[in-house]
Structure 1
């Protein structure tokens, strides 16, 4: 994308709607996406950071007045600078707290959408992280009221921990403090920006548990396992900042530029691809579905549910994955198969290679396929596609072989019509002519696997003609005629056996193909399930460690909250 476009727009009645053009762009992105969203009060310089991440000086409008420039949520998709085959999706959100809106609920939904869609959430604020700043971030305390992880949590599920569940699916959190003018020191000792943030989030003995500041601190610790802080000095004088978009790095404060570069470097290196529960990776087209699902829920007065979102994603994208895998198989086989093949094994080998790739296409884009419903359907459809190819291969071989018969056996047929062989010694001449034609037929190239069947059918037909010629050949004794008649039957039987053997090989190969296909489906499915299990385990462990750490810190301040 050369410039940002609107992803989620504000409707006239104060609601939200997803923009079709943005959905079309996301729908074309099959790569994993790293989604970075910025939120914060309006006129705090959010857009500048997003432009910097895009590697551009202009893009998201910065504005130079007290008017909020960004409305809704705007999107900019660019190739990820470091992660190969990944797309960096930047989301610039409408400024919170715009007095012209007068609708705090709208701000909450904008904040929630940023949390739901991003893998990294950047909160942008001015000044310092103090009580006032924490009060302005009260939106985070309302996340549990506006977002559900499970559509219907089981009442008897002892393992269900709301904080852990939110932490598993929420993005990493970066607090970007702008126009920071203090020294990073605590008790007279230098500290890092991260330590500054964590110290600001500590609950103090004098704090009231239900105070908005305490609730904000707890929410940030409970919901965001990974937290990071950057402090930016003022980039330039007020006079220069009027034309911020026009300023090069040389015109900006050197410390500001260094911190901005460190901010971008951290995002590029540490922001993870967007995932859902269980470590499910999200592509651009899946992100489009998520945006639609969440906005539809909000518009209908419901609370967005992550479980419902996963179900919607599964239905839409598993169906699409199924269709694309079958289409891939069909198109690749059409490109690679040259009908007719000489043997069934040749077609089988091509089928095995392409089917494996088709299953990979499905496995890559499918998820949450409960009871392997869609994968079983994939196997059924691939079996049908292969059966059609086998049928086409047989029919084309038959047609081609039958087309050769008149040309190869034409001279023989002409002599039969003229009665050339109905005379003494005619049977021997007929046998020699027939054998010569048979050898010529067998030397024909590219007739395919049904050439023996077509030849057997023709020779069976000619065996009756041969019997008539043999009976009319008075040069042979009765005993010789009987010998020749037995030989004629034996030759016909031999050719029929060759055909039956070929048919047996075809059926045997088809059975092997079916078994091999089943094994390949199981193999790829087990590999994916194992990867998902490992991702889920790592995710749960990481979240549990963070939650335990947070709860120990809180228990030191509010002992009565232990066991919460």
Structure 2
């Protein structure tokens, strides 16, 4: 920020510090006011008062260099300020020339509400030092001059207010533009309107403030955003605050915050550009990551029993590794849900295929079971029939053989022959494995019966012989 605008009138030597010199200054100020309009054309209906001018005139500081004149009035010493005020006091006179001078003095007092006077002793008694002041060191300057210089600087830094136009602080750059416009217009003998000048500068400065704030936002976003990111909004908010601070430092008299709203709109446009870029980077990053993690899932076949569980297990692995991967951006969840949805549809189809396959296997198993039961049932019936047939056949053949053998060779041979005959008859009756089994059992029974019959025959013969 710049201290309040000052008009520092410097006089060299005590001889020039006179009422005549002051009158020349008053004349200049009076003429300058003729080329200055405080109010715009729209407000011309209102008369411009001297107070209106005083609000736009700077603080007046009268300085005198190399002054050796003693500041005495009426035989007593006075301060520099008292000396100045005495010089600006109108004098009672009947001469017209003096009346004009009094008018000039009054205008100085009216236009410059704040007035200050500083008188400086010669900086050094050495002419060589005075002639080379730009190269002189502090040690070469007189103590009195250094004290007076410090007093002057302290007053400027501590007492002069910040220069404002309608409560808007005037910065150094704006001040320079104001001075240029003032001087150029006055030198061209054209009247200058303070309000128009201020508005022109306001337009230029606020436009520059918007442009520089936008550039600051773009620069900070490029420096802080690493695409893709999930914290774009937080970074944007921080950069926007910095841009707004920069705008406020440059802006001047932004009426109704018109340019600040323009800045907000431009920042929002830039934020959307960064957001679109971030979305694209995030989308590409996540899709490439999903493609890499799902390679095994894509190349394997799951159209078999247990395929659904295998797919779900693989999906769980992919999800865990996907969540661990860094810098996925704000599209991470959207991309994964899209991938998951497509794979769950495939998993659902695999589940349906498993159900159909299981049903088919059950039907085939039921068919095999029934066929086995039919074969087992047929085998049991054949065994029973063979068993009965073998037994009956063996009994018949065995009995016949016994009768024949009785006459020929006797009981034991007959029974043996009968048993052999029964066996032969049983073997002849069927050639199947089951019938052979039954026939074997029949032979055993026939042998038992044959032995029993033989024993009875022997006992019968013995009984008859005893009689």
**Shared fold by TM > 0.5?**
yes
Are 1:190 and 2:71 counterparts? no
CA change 1:425–1:209 in 2 (3 A) is farther
Q: CA deviation at 1:266?
A: 3.2
Q: What is the total number of aligned residue pairs between the two structures? A: 355
Q: Is the 8 A contact 2:40 2:195 kept in 1?
A: yes
Offset at 1:452? 1.5
* Offset, 1:165: 2.1
Report what 2:148 is aligned to. 259
Q: Distance in 2 between matches of 1:299 and 1:179?
A: 31
> SS of the residue aligned with 2:226?
coil
Q: Secondary structure at the match of 1:228?
A: strand
Contact 2:282 2:328 in 1 (8 A): yes
Please point out which of 292, 296, 315 is paired with 1:434. Answer: 315
TM-score between both structures, scaled by the size of structure 2: 0.67
The 8 Å contact of residues 172 and 225 in structure 1, kept in 2 or not, is answered as: yes
Structure 1 residues 241 and 423: CA distance shift in structure 2, 3 A: closer
In the other structure, the counterpart of 2:338 is 457
355, 371, 395: which one aligns with 2:240:
355
| CA pair 422-182 structure 1, distance change in 2 beyond 3 A | closer
Q: Is the 8 A contact 1:34 1:271 kept in 2?
A: yes
Map 1:349-388 → 2, pairs under 5 A: 349-388=234-273
Residues 483-512 of structure 1, C-alpha deviations (whole Å, 9 max, x = no match): xxxxxxxxxxxxxxxxxxxxxxxxxxxxxx
3-state SS in 1 of match to 2:269: helix
Structure 1 residue aligned with 2:224: 336
Name structure 2 gaps, 5 residues minimum: 361-467
Offset of 1:235 from its aligned partner? 5.5
- Given candidates 281, 289, 297, the residue that maps to 1:404 is 289
* Alignment-derived partner of residue 119 in structure 1: 6
Q: What is the match of residue 219 of structure 1?
A: 107
Q: Which moved more, 1:289-298 or 1:431-440?
A: 289-298
Tell me the distance in 1 between the aligned counterparts of 2:193 and 2:164: 12
Measure, in 1, the Cα distance between the counterparts of 2:21 and 2:218: 59
Aligned to 1:108: none
Cα deviation, residue 453, structure 1: 1.0
The Cα shift of 1:472 comes to: 2.5
User: 1-side partners of 2:310 and 2:334: how far apart?
Assistant: 25
Q: What TM-score, normalized by structure 1, do the two folds share?
A: 0.56
1:417-443 CA distances to partner (integer Å, 9 max, x unpaired)?
xxx211233222222222322332223
Contact 2:35–2:186 under 8 Å retained in 1: no
What does 1:143-292 align with in structure 2 at a 5 Å threshold? 143-152=32-41, 154-157=43-46, 162-206=49-93, 211-233=99-121, 243=131, 245=133, 255-256=144-145, 258-273=147-162, 275-292=163-180
Give me the whole-angstrom Cα distance separating, in 1, the residues matched to 2:198 and 2:257. Answer: 16
Q: Tell me if structure 2 keeps the 8 A contact 1:293–1:312.
A: no
- Aligned partner of 1:444 among 319, 325, 331: 325
Q: CA offsets per residue over residues 350-400 of structure 1, 9 Å max, x none?
A: 222222221121122112222322111111111112222222222222111
CA distance in 2, matches of 1:251, 1:364: 41
Q: Secondary structure at the match of 1:183?
A: coil
Give the structure, 1 or 2, with the largest relative contact order (CA under 8 Å, sep 6 or more): 1
The alignment status of 1:131 with 2:19, answered yes or no, reads yes
Q: Deviations over 1:152-210 (max 9, x none)?
A: 372454xx653222222222112223454443232333221101111221123336688
Structure with greater helix percent: 2
Secondary structure, aligned partner of 1:33: coil
| Aligned equivalent of 2:363 | none
Picking from 318, 324, 329, the partner of 2:206 is 318
Structure 1 pair 410–247 and aligned structure 2 pair: CA distance change class (3 A): closer
